[in-house]
Structures are given as structure tokens and as C-alpha cells.
Amino acid sequence: MIWSNILIYFVIIPLLMLGGLALCKNIKQVRAVAVVGATALMALAIYLVVEFLGLRAAGNDAEMLFTEGAVMWFEPLNIHLALGVDGISVVMILLSAFIVFAGVFASWKMDPLPKEFFMWFCLLSTGVFGFFISIDMFTMFMFYEVALIPMYLLIGVWGSGNKMYSAMKLTLMLMGGSAFLMLGILGIYFHSAPAGQPLTMNILEIASNNAVPHSWQYFLFPMTFVGFGVLGAMFPFHTWSPDGHASAPTAVSMLHAGVLMKLGGYGCFRIAIFLMPYAANELAWIFLTLTGISVVYGAFSACVQTDLKYINAYSSVSHCGMVLFAILMLNTTAMTGAVLQMLSHGLMTALFFALIGMIYGRTHTRDIRKMGGLMQIMPFLGVGYVIAGLASLGLPGLSGFVAEMTIFVGSFQHADMFHRVFTIVACCSIVITAVYILRVVGKLLFGAVQDEHHRTLTDAEWHERLSTVTLILAVAAIGCFPNFFSSIITEAAEPIMKLFA
């Protein structure tokens, strides 16, 4: 029975929250439901990690665990609700749970329509968790869409600035990606088994059949890679990100940059690379060039922005570019680095957007030219911002360093000179990142107070502190004990990367 599978509860809990929220009468009840649900998700995610490690320690070395209880959904196309996780999905679930938890506290004082906001927020979470626990291509795609659609309303209704334009742009560009994806998935499905055997949507079965013809792979690999790559902010399909983030409300930016963009990277390797290794190997250099450009290009663009959210959106282009870049190196170490970078980027960008939201909520501007010396006025937020900045520029002891170093060392192990030279190009981003981070920190937090009206502002409230501290602790945990995470990921990446050995 599927109910005995712990994974299904990652979808059930947000749905229950959704139902609970619909019944709420006032903001207090809304908050109570949100907090209880987010805490339950976090507890469940931690329990899952423990359970997963326990099974692995007991010698269960199946590629995916918790696969019991698949339910048939649609017989003619052989679509199942099939669940399963490996080390990579487990850490992604943990990441999502942390960000949902922090997001709830960051949107504590959401106004107007708090109830509706949290309902969409829950639906979005359902999609995110559903995506990570599925091993059926169609179910994955469905959850992917469930996660994307609420963005339109969340930005369009609760956003700021030119919100209708941004919401429309984001949705349309991501839907464009989905269209490619749909084609890709159908293409894979129709070649998922050798002639005469039943076709399947199950990723594990497709991978073991390894029946997609090479000629088709040349077509389907770019389809799926670009389809997911749009969400992963791959150059030149990244322009939804600056506008989208700038208009989105705090918690939505957090969830979007923190988790949703990870769906892109995760999908890229789980579907594009895992199912079509031949084309991945042959075509990697094209996308490697594009993502290598992303890394440096995003960083340079961030250097001259003046809106805090634009800076972080471009910084995300750079950091997420690094994720795809590492995935395309097609070796275990770089792959591990890519997942670590997803975790690290998710947490620190969520932290950034949370803090930006809190600062914006007080100063009502995100233009760094109009702010200055905020450290004197709101030391807690200031220190939080500096820590986020240091994580972003790769300070050892915080998560960014671990992820980037794993990527660089892994990528540099590639036997081909082209890949190594490109790795050095990507390395240059560590300097440019330092430039734009320190520029913002110096301008925003240090120096003299720019606007005398800001002197009356207050520092963070308890729920804001809780949100910030949760994320900082997570960032520091990865940074201080990287081997715990990296060993879980490596062991999951190895079987996938064996295809290329």
C-alpha cells in the first residue's frame, strides 16, 4: 500500500495544510496551521534522512529506496504514482523543508489576504516535494507544473513593482520550457523499451532498458536539458529571473530561488543525463560553453546592478550556471559538487531574499544608492547579510566554499584540456563574486547613514530572527561538516556517473 510509504506524506502534509487553511477564520489560525505544517515537514524530512542512512548502513544498496506501493494512474500510457528516493533527492527534500520552514516565518506578516497567500504557498510546496519524490516521468512533470503555476498568482497578486509584467514573463518563459520538456518526455516514452516490450514512464526502468536510439537522443537531450535549463536560469534563457525575483514577495523569492530553481538542475541530470547518456556525452560541450558563460556573465552583470534583488538574481544566474556546468562534467566529484551547490545556493539565496525582504519592509527601497550605514541601525539584519554575503563569496566554514571547491576539483579531473581550461574560466567567478558582494555590503551596511529617516527603523522581530537563524545554521552546518552531506550525495551520484566511465 502506498500509505505505508513515508514519502507520500511529503505531498499529503502540504495538501492537509491547504485544507486546514481553507477553514481558517483569522490570521492567528492561518499562522498556526502554517507553522504546524512546516514543522511537521521539517521533522519528517529529518526523519527521512535518518531512516535513509539507517537503511544504507544496513546494506540496502538499491539505487532508489522507499519504492514500495506504486499506484497505477492511467493504464494506456502506463503512468504510475511511483515514488523513490536516492541520496540526492533526500538532501533536496531536506533543503526544501528548511526553506519552507524559514519561508513561513519570513512571511509572518503577509498582507493582504494572508490565508490565500499561504494556500498558494502550500500548493507550491506540494509540487516541489512531489517532484523530488517521484520516479515516474509523467508524475514528475505534473508536480513540476503544480509548482510553477502558483508562481503566477503569487507574484501577480502579492508582488511589487511591475508585477503583472514580471508574473507574465516568468510564467510564459517557464511554460515555454515546459513545452520542450513535454516533447522530450513523450519522445523518451515512445522509445523507452526495446521493440515488443511494454513502454514505460518509470525512470529506473527506462535507464535499465537503455533503449532510446542514439539518433533520437541527439534530439531529445537538448529538448529536456533546455526545458529544465530554463528553470535553472541557463544563459540565454535566464531573463525571467531578475524581473521575477524583483517583483516577487519575500517568501516567494525565497522558495523560488531556494527550491524551484533546483528543480531545473535536478531534472537536468535525473532525466536528460541519466536517460540519455550517449547524447549527454556527445553534446555536453555545447551546454558547457553556455553554462560556463552563465557563470562569468551573471557575475559581471551583478557588479553594476543597483537593485538588491537584481544583484541576487544575477548572482543566482552565476551560481546556478555553476550547477549545470558541474553536472555536464559527467564525473562523480563534480556531480557531488553540483548537488552541494544546489543546497548551498538554495539556502544562502533564501537567506539573501529573506533579508532583502526584511530590509525592504523597513526602508521601502531596494536601491543601494538610497541606503547606507544600515549596520548601525539594524545590526542583526546587517550581520545576517554579511554572513550571507560571505557564504556567497565562498568563505570556508560556510556552504558556498565546500560546493564550489568540490565543483572545481571535480571538473578539473576531466581528462580533456578543453574542460580544464573552462574550469579555470569558471574559477574566475570567485573574484567577481567578491567584488559585487563587498560592493553591496560596503554600500548598504557600512559607511555613514544615507537617509536620516532610516534612523528610526527597528531591528528584526522574533519571527524574522528565527527565519534568519534557521538558514544561517543550515549554511554553517554544510560548511563545517561537508563530508556528511557529500558522502550521501556521492554514493547516489556514482551509479549515474558509471554510465560515463
Integer Cα distance of 416 and 122 in angstroms: 45
Kindly state whether residue 305 participates in binding other proteins, applying the rule CB under 8 A. yes
CA-based nearest residue to 251, from 92, 445, 109, 91: 109
Q: Compute the least distance from the CB of residue 263 to other proteins, in Å.
A: 21
Select from 46, 77, 172, 286 the one that contacts other proteins (CB under 8 A): 172
- Tell me the chain's radius of gyration from C-alpha atoms: 22
Select from 19, 213, 361, 396 the one that contacts other proteins (CB under 8 A): 396
Instruction: Please count the residues of this chain forming the interface with other proteins, following the rule CB under 8 A.
Output: 55
Integer Cα distance of 98 and 225 in angstroms: 27
Q: Which stretch binds other proteins (CB under 8 A): 62-70, 74-82, 294-302, 358-366?
A: 294-302
Which H or E run includes 438? helix 429-444
Select from 13, 402, 488, 497 the one that contacts other proteins (CB under 8 A): 402
Kindly state whether residue 438 participates in binding other proteins, applying the rule CB under 8 A. yes
- Contact 337/400 with Cβ under 8 angstroms? no
Kindly state whether residue 455 participates in binding other proteins, applying the rule CB under 8 A. no
Kindly state whether residue 300 participates in binding other proteins, applying the rule CB under 8 A. yes
- Contact 171/151 with Cβ under 8 angstroms? yes
Integer Cα distance of 63 and 278 in angstroms: 21
Integer Cα distance of 371 and 445 in angstroms: 8
Q: Which spans in 191-307 are helix H?
A: 203-209, 214-231, 240-247, 250-255, 261-267, 274-275, 277-303
Kindly state whether residue 316 participates in binding other proteins, applying the rule CB under 8 A. no
Kindly state whether residue 77 participates in binding other proteins, applying the rule CB under 8 A. no
Q: Which stretch binds other proteins (CB under 8 A): 27-35, 99-107, 283-291, 300-308?
A: 300-308
Cell of 165: 509584467
Kindly state whether residue 457 participates in binding other proteins, applying the rule CB under 8 A. no
Q: Which of residues 19-38 bind other proteins (CB under 8 A)?
A: none
Select from 15, 430, 457, 477 the one that contacts other proteins (CB under 8 A): 430
Q: Which stretch binds other proteins (CB under 8 A): 52-60, 87-95, 149-157, 394-402?
A: 394-402
- Decide whether 48 or 472 has the Cβ nearer to other proteins: 472
Q: Compute the least distance from the CB of residue 385 to other proteins, in Å.
A: 13
Kindly state whether residue 96 participates in binding other proteins, applying the rule CB under 8 A. no
Distances (CA, A) of 69 to 6, 81, 185, 498: 11, 9, 23, 28
Task: For the chain, report the end-to-end CA distance as a whole number of angstroms.
Answer: 38
Q: Compute the least distance from the CB of residue 224 to other proteins, in Å.
A: 21
Q: Which of residues 233-292 bind other proteins (CB under 8 A)?
A: 235-236, 238-240
Kindly state whether residue 401 participates in binding other proteins, applying the rule CB under 8 A. yes
Kindly state whether residue 486 participates in binding other proteins, applying the rule CB under 8 A. yes
Q: What share of the chain is helix, strand, coil (3-state, %, to 5)?
A: 75, 5, 20
| Angle value at C-alpha 496, between 337 and 77, nearest 5 degrees | 125
Select from 435, 457, 466, 477 the one that contacts other proteins (CB under 8 A): 435
Using a 10 angstrom Cβ sphere, with 0-12 exposed, 13-18 middle and 19 or more buried, the burial of residue 208 is exposed
Q: Which stretch binds other proteins (CB under 8 A): 108-116, 141-149, 455-463, 483-491?
A: 483-491
The residues that touch other proteins, with contacts defined as CB under 8 A, are: 169, 172-173, 235-236, 238-240, 297, 300-301, 303-305, 332-333, 373, 375-376, 390, 393-397, 401-402, 405-406, 408-410, 412-413, 420, 423-424, 427-428, 430-431, 434-435, 438-439, 442, 445-448, 482-483, 486-487, 490
